[in-house]
Each structure stands twice: as C-alpha cells, then as structure tokens.
C-alpha cells in the first residue's frame, strides 16, 4: 500500500553555546566544525562583522586556532540564508551572534531550522553592562542543546559568567574597524563593575 501522506521535512536542531568572553566558546565551535566536517557533513561557518561585503576569512579563538568563516554584515543576518540556499548545506555554524539584531537573527535561525538545517551558534549573554546582548538569551530558550560556558573571575577566582570592559569607550559593541580598542576581562557577578570611560 502506498502512503499518500506527504513526507514532512524534519526540523533542524539548535545548539547554543553561551557565556562571557574567554570561556572557550569559539574553541567549542571549532571542535564542532572539525568533527562535523570529518563526518562528511556539508558545513558553513559565519561570523558577524561591523561592515562586510561577505568576504571569507578566519576567526580566531583566544587560543589562536582559526575557524574558516564567511563574514556577514552585522546589520544583515538574512544574508546567511543566501549562502545556505544552495549546495545542500546541512549544518550552519555562527560565531558571535550577539552582534546581530535580535529579531532579525532569530527569524534567520527559525528559517534554517524549518529547512531541516542544524544550527550551532555562540554568543555573549550579557554585554559589559550586564544587560542582555542580542539574540543569545532568546535562542537559549529555543535550544535543543544548551551549553553554558564560564570563565574564571580575574579578581577573585570564582566562576565568571560576565565580561567587564576595562578600556575602550562606552558603546555596546565596538566593531573591528572601531578607532578605540576595547579591553575586556572575565569577572563574577559580585566583582563586576560597569566601565564609565
Ligand atoms: Zn569575582
């Protein structure tokens, strides 16, 4: 007997890696990229950038290992969909998602998942003021797998879920083309101080 039921595409799975800076988030993505590629999956990696024409490049984890990425203008996360539209991409990795606007990036992730693509993202949960940053928190609530990573507070040695700015202006995000280089340290909630410039 032939089943008349339409075969429905299975939704992709969402993995979210969240935490402060210096918590090994990019390293984790790099490991995922290597393993998935070795298993023969077709994987594309993206990273947000302040201004971009969609160039290729490498992003480095803090321990200096490169992840091959396609840079995406942080104001236009929907460009990811254009790259994924062809070539039978099965897995999508996105580094530093907090730079993308929340609503637009969540919409992109939903479309990818609906298309059966597995999505792996990492992002900061909080900015240097300890306020919510981009779509990370929203996506944590949607995640099939949530990996929260922590650093060590440089002031007291406790578990550090926060990032403190110690130099470089007071904008929420300072792009790679910014004039002032921001400097950050990982801290716990009680040691955290808001940088006032
Ligand atoms: Zn501390």
Pairing of strands 118-123, 162-167: unpaired
pLDDT digits over 25-41, tens only? 988 999 999 999 999 99
What average pLDDT does the segment 157-170 reach?
Answer: 91
Summary mean pLDDT of the chain: 87
Instruction: Give 19 Cα–ligand 1 centroid separation in angstroms.
Output: 15
What pLDDT, on the 0 to 100 scale, is given for residue 173?
74
Pairing of strands 66-73, 43-49: parallel
What pLDDT, on the 0 to 100 scale, is given for residue 86?
74
What average pLDDT does the segment 95-110 reach?
Answer: 96
Confidence of residue 176 (pLDDT cuts 50, 70, 90): very low
Q: List CB-based neighbours of ion ligand 1 within 5 Å.
A: 153, 155-156, 158, 188, 191
What average pLDDT does the segment 7-20 reach?
Answer: 90
Asked whether the predicted pLDDT for residue 53 surpasses 50, the reply is: no
What average pLDDT does the segment 114-143 reach?
Answer: 95
Asked whether the predicted pLDDT for residue 63 surpasses 70, the reply is: no
Instruction: Give 190 Cα–ligand 1 centroid separation in angstroms.
Output: 6
3-state secondary structure the chain: CCCCCCCCCCCCCEEEEECCCCCCHHHHHHHHHHHHHHCCCCEEEEEEECCCCCCEEEEECCCCCEEEEEEEECCCCCHHHHHHCCCCCCEEEEECHHHCCHHHHHHHHHHHHHCCCEEEEEECCECCCCCECCCHHHHHHHCCEEEECCEECCCCCCEECEEEEEECCCCCCCCCCCCCCCEEEEECCCCCCCCCC
What pLDDT, on the 0 to 100 scale, is given for residue 40?
95
Among 8-22, 72-86, 179-193, name the one with the lowest average pLDDT.
179-193
As its CATH architecture, domain 14-149 has 3-Layer(aba) Sandwich (3.40)
What pLDDT, on the 0 to 100 scale, is given for residue 32?
94
Q: How far apart are CA 129 and CA 127, in angstroms?
A: 5
Instruction: Give 15 Cα–ligand 1 centroid separation in angstroms.
Output: 28
What average pLDDT does the segment 185-197 reach?
Answer: 93
Domain boundaries, the chain: 14-149
Instruction: Give 150 Cα–ligand 1 centroid separation in angstroms.
Output: 12
What pLDDT, on the 0 to 100 scale, is given for residue 179?
63
Q: How far apart are CA 143 and CA 12, in angstroms?
A: 11
Instruction: Give 36 Cα–ligand 1 centroid separation in angstroms.
Output: 36
What pLDDT, on the 0 to 100 scale, is given for residue 59?
62
């Amino acid at each position: 007997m032939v089943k008349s039921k339409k075969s429905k595409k299975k939704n992709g799975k969402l993995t979210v890696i969240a935490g402060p800076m210096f918590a090994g988030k990019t390293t984790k993505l790099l490991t995922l990229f290597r393993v998935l590629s070795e298993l023969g999956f077709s994987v594309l990696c993206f990273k947000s950038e302040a201004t971009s024409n969609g160039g290729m490049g490498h992003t480095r984890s803090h321990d200096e290992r490169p992840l091959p990425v396609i840079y995406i203008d942080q104001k236009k996360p929907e460009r990811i969909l254009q790259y994924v539209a062809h070539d039978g991409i099965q897995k999508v990795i996105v580094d530093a998602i907090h730079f993308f606007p929340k609503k637009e990036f969540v919409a992109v992730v939903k479309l990818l998942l609906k298309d059966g693509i597995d999505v792996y993202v990492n992002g900061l949960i909080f900015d240097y003021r300890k306020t919510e940053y981009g779509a990370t928190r929203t996506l944590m609530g949607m995640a099939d797998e949530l990996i929260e990573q922590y650093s060590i507070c440089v002031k007291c040695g406790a578990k550090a879920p926060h990032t403190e700015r110690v130099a470089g202006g007071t904008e929420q995000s300072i792009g790679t083309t910014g004039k002032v280089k921001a400097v950050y340290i990982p801290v716990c909630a009680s040691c955290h101080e808001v940088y006032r410039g």
